[in-house]
Amino acid sequence: MTNDYSDFLPQLRASTEQLLKRLDCFDQARVLAIGDLTLDEFVTGQVERISREAPVLILRYENTRQVPGGGANAVYNLAKLGGQVKVAGLVGKDDQGKALCDIFEAAGIDTAGIFVDSQRPTVTKTRISGHARQSVTQQIVRVDRKSDELPNLDLQLQLADYIRQQIPTVDAVVCSDYGDGVLTNLAIESAVVRGKTIVDAQTNLQRYSGAMLFTPNLPEAEQAVGYAINNSPTLMQAGRDLLNLTQAQKILITRGEEGMTLFERVKVEAIKNSPPTSTCQSGEFSIQSWDIPPFNKTDVFDVTGAGDTVVAAMTLALCVGASGWEAAVLGNLAASIVVRQFGTATTTTEEMKEALKAMIYE
């Protein structure tokens, strides 16, 4: 799939002042983030020798780094971008759960909605890496801790009740579903509010029917619609089908090195004064779509967690009055910065402002 982005840069330059104003308002946005909270651990050591017990490396331990992962990465991104964030989810009665809560609290995140599940561990992904002297550090193995069991009914009810209580106090609700059991049907029923809920789910998007915005990547979109998206006609068809499947107002399909495409339900009379677009009729409603190019194709070191960054920036932008196009552009901009770093990462509004100015003056 190739896109004609010739109209994009002039539109971006014309919108730069407004985009900068949106970024200045991110700290006014109030968000409830619900998700599968994961702790990413990075254990690093220097290779000393091969073990005599088995043909494996022996590492001399150097350090451990702990950062939010999974749904916790979306929460952390929202806070680092300046949002006023409340988090809802579950952690185990373990050191990893405490570490995750400590990280959140240090970032100014309200953790009153994190409940302790004594029967399940905090979802933890431990990456063990090693290096020889003066060599690059490489991952050797990853150890995952998680449970395939759902939380008990009492915890599900507590979580759903907390979500219902917080809905009136926030501008947006983010559901970050990694399939680890937090977003049960009870939680989803409490969380989906028309015009307010944003969903980043890997599968079963129809469970969140009626949410405002969905942000699947290309493989997730293909799984949801049941066919390959490999050219412009199938991309447009997927946008229509996803809007119908989810009953959403907006669908953003992120497409890696080909950028992203935003689909939005619009009234026919609203189309005339919009940015460059392609439009189609689908019976009950019209669809407007925008193709947004990749902002960084050369300095990509790690795309882990970039989708969480897109969701966070888009959410805050929509909270402060941005259009769908403006929000998608800011989401894309934020992701273009974090992919330059290894592992899950965050950015700030100041970094985004600098990157935006650099783009328009290239």
Of the candidates 36, 180, 241, 308, the residue annotated as catalytic is 308
Taking 90 as the threshold, does the pLDDT of residue 301 lie above it?
no
Q: Is 148 a catalytic residue?
A: no
Beta carbons within 8 Å of 62's beta carbon, 6+ residues apart = 44, 45, 46
Question: Which residue, among 15, 77, 9, has the nearest Cα to 311 in the 3D structure?
Answer: 77
CA pair distance 95, 112, nearest whole angstrom: 18
Number of neighbouring beta carbons within 10 Å of residue 316: 34
Would you state the structure tokens that stand for residue 100, as one six-digit string? 């995750």
pLDDT digits (tens, 9 = 90+) for 164-219: 999 999 999 999 999 999 999 999 999 999 999 999 998 999 999 999 999 999 99
Write down the residue that tokens 């882990």 correspond to: 304
Taking 80 as the threshold, does the pLDDT of residue 282 lie above it?
no
- Which pLDDT score, from 0 to 100, does residue 29 have? 97
Question: Which residue, among 238, 232, 236, has the nearest Cα to 216 in the 3D structure?
Answer: 238
pLDDT digits (tens, 9 = 90+) for 217-254: 999 999 999 999 999 999 999 999 999 999 999 999 99
The CA R_g of the chain, rounded to the nearest whole Å, is: 21
- Domains of the chain listed by start with CATH number: 8-38+69-122+146-360 (3.40.1190.20)
